[in-house]
Amino acid sequence: MRASVSPLDKVVQPHPYDAVQDVLYILDAERRFTFVNAFALAAWHCTPDALLGQRFEDGLPVRPGQDLIDAVQQAIDRQERAEFETFGGRHQRWINLTLYPHHGGVLVQVRPLLRDVRTAARDANDALTGCLTRQTFLDVLATPHPCTQGAVLALVDLNRLKLMNAVRGHTGGDLHIRQVAHLLQEALPAGGLICRWGGDEFVLLAPGQNPGLLTRALDHALRHAPAPQPGVPAYSSGLAVWPGGTPFERAFAIADDRLQQQKDRLYAVLPDDGEVLNFVAFSQQLEMLDDPDDITQYTLERLLTLLDFDHAVFQVWDAGGATYTATHQAIRAGLPVPLPALGAPQPLAGAFRTVQRTQRTAWSTDYPSSPEVIPLMVEQGVKSGIMTPVFSQGRIVASITLRTVHRWHTITPHMRKVLELAALRLEHALELRRVAQQVRETLEAGLLTLGIALEARDLETHGHTQRTTEMAGRLGEALGLRGSDLDQLREGAYLHDLGKLCVPDAILHKPGRLTADEWTVMQTHTTRGWDLACRIPNLATAVLEVIRHHHERWDGGGYPDGLAGEAIPLVARIFAVCDVYDALISERPYKPAWSADAAVREIQAQSGRQFDPAVVRAFLSLHGEAALAAAVPRVS
């Protein structure tokens, strides 16, 4: 058998602002760049070394007008928040600039506005993406424009949008469309046009007759676009040259033909949406089961159907790594029960040793010819097989084995991936149930003890629970909470990161920037924590609200429910300020500890955006009275 090998991703140390999906940069008092976020670097096709230390007017892709330079300098001089609109010549569209005071300079956020230079009418631009509507785009082509004198046309089609909507809901699908559209807009060469042609289609035009320019722009955007599922690019595209004076429809048809060819090549090696949705349904069903035996048995039975095997066996490994015991199995109808029997310990041999050595999936399409063959399996007619490990806390604790009997079955990369994902889902489901039981048993020892136990898993936050609980209590009192209301706020603070028990170590302890999929998993700690806490008897509603909603934002941009304003429970609004403040003044692998004053300024800057202004005012009052003096910068 062979062991599958996956390359390790390069570890990147992120900055918190790199998560912002807008151009964002910081200028010092002399208008020199001191920071540029990842989104801006990608949009401008440059590196930090090329920008840092440069003056604002010299570093931008297109030199700004003197009026914009003066406005930026005025914001620096006054050290007050400023906001204005200007016309961006690079993409021929209006943009909004918001400037925030920042250590004597300014932090600048740039966002496109939903209107085009040719018309201020709102219906000229697509409400979701800000791109031109199809009709407006065609109207522009009917007027003199550089693109009508000769251009390169690209037809872009989002991949797996139907699947995205099914898995994440239409809100998640809309977010995906916006993210990709924003990247396409930023990558579009100067003087170009972009429109949303249909629900998941975009048309781009770049003036000139050089396909390479637009090809590079699309490739650049694709590298930064979120994938709808692992291994699937965000979009496919087809290009065609549109010579001046020729019908637009001809170039469009050629681009569409090339797009379809690209999609045919892509989907020839991918499972169809129905197959993927079956796996999604499988994952959702796992979440509904509580008993570990039911979870394991359901997994095996579904894998037989999904991947077309004859035997599926779950084997528990002993702690010493010398033997295993088959505990569950599923068998295709009409086939004999395989040996060894359930419950009979067996020495690790053959594929077990390969998996133990490599810590990865092992497989053989022609099992009888494998050098690691087990004679008992051949005697039973096994022709093909695959085995993947199940981990707990970094150690192999079990394995899932699939076999065919009296028939050969090609073990494809897709098949291996599905089995590995199933093992991961099974691992998570079993871990969730194990943790829920531990939580119930631990509750008697006190909520503070539980909070400290949570920190023991997340090594970056030592002491975080104690500090934020004390801070939340003082802030809650300042806002008028008394008695049981204050107790419930503190209890929620103890348990706020309960759901991180369900986040895999590889994500929780990852020193570099999380991928989009990893970040999605990390965000589930709020709902997973809420789910666990709901099973604890007699917890008040306010406690659950802190756990679920402490990452909501006042402006509605938070998670998990996108609540805004006073729809966010007060206890969650209070704790959110304390949680972020403590994170800022604490050292992390990706950042030094901020000073207390710098952290307070950041909290103040987020008033009305991330945080409730009333809570921020109370927080600032406490800070001014030195009531938070105990919360000095911490080193983990």
Q: 265-302 pLDDT, tens per residue?
A: 887 766 555 555 566 666 666 667 667 788 889 889 98
Domain spanning 289-434: CATH superfamily: GAF domain (3.30.450.40)
Residue-wise pLDDT for 43-70, tens only, equals 888 888 889 999 999 888 888 877 788 8
Please report the DSSP string for 384-429 in residue order.
EEEEEEEEETTEEEEEEEEEEESS-----HHHHHHHHHHHHHHHHH
- Closest by alpha carbon to 422, among 394, 392, 399, 393? 399
Predicted local confidence at residue 440, as pLDDT: 46
307's CB contacts (< 8 A; 6+ apart) are: 402, 415, 418, 419
* Measured distance CA(572)–CA(584) in Å, rounded: 18
**Inter-residue contact 176 to 210 (CB < 8 Å):** no
| Span 16-114 CATH architecture | 2-Layer Sandwich (3.30)
Place of tokens 């650049």: 220
| Burial of 322: CB neighbours in 10 Å, binned 0-12, 13-18, 19+ | exposed
Residue-wise pLDDT for 336-389, tens only, equals 888 888 999 999 999 999 999 999 999 998 899 888 899 999 999 999 999 999
CA distances from 606 to 19, 35, 479, 569, 576 (A): 16, 19, 19, 18, 12
405's CB contacts (< 8 A; 6+ apart) are: 310, 311, 335, 380, 381, 382, 383
Q: Topology of 118-267 in CATH?
A: Alpha-Beta Plaits (3.30.70)
Statement: the pTM of the whole predicted model exceeds 0.85? no
Predicted local confidence at residue 601, as pLDDT: 92
* Measured distance CA(73)–CA(79) in Å, rounded: 10
- Give the tokens for residue 209: 């007759």
Predicted local confidence at residue 117, as pLDDT: 45
**Segment among 208-212, 253-257, 628-632 with least mean pLDDT:** 628-632
Phi/psi of residue 482, each to 5°? -140, 160
**Inter-residue contact 526 to 499 (CB < 8 Å):** yes
Looking at the chain, which residues constitute the CATH 3.30.70.270 domain(s)? 118-267
Looking at the chain, which residues constitute the CATH 3.30.450.20 domain(s)? 16-114
Q: Topology of 446-624 in CATH?
A: Hypothetical protein af1432 (1.10.3210)
How would residue 452 be classed by pLDDT, with cut points 50, 70 and 90? low
Looking at the chain, which residues constitute the CATH 3.30.450.40 domain(s)? 289-434
- Give the tokens for residue 395: 């150690």
How would residue 320 be classed by pLDDT, with cut points 50, 70 and 90? confident
Instruction: Tell whether the model's pLDDT for residue 227 goes beyond 70.
Output: yes
**Inter-residue contact 260 to 175 (CB < 8 Å):** no
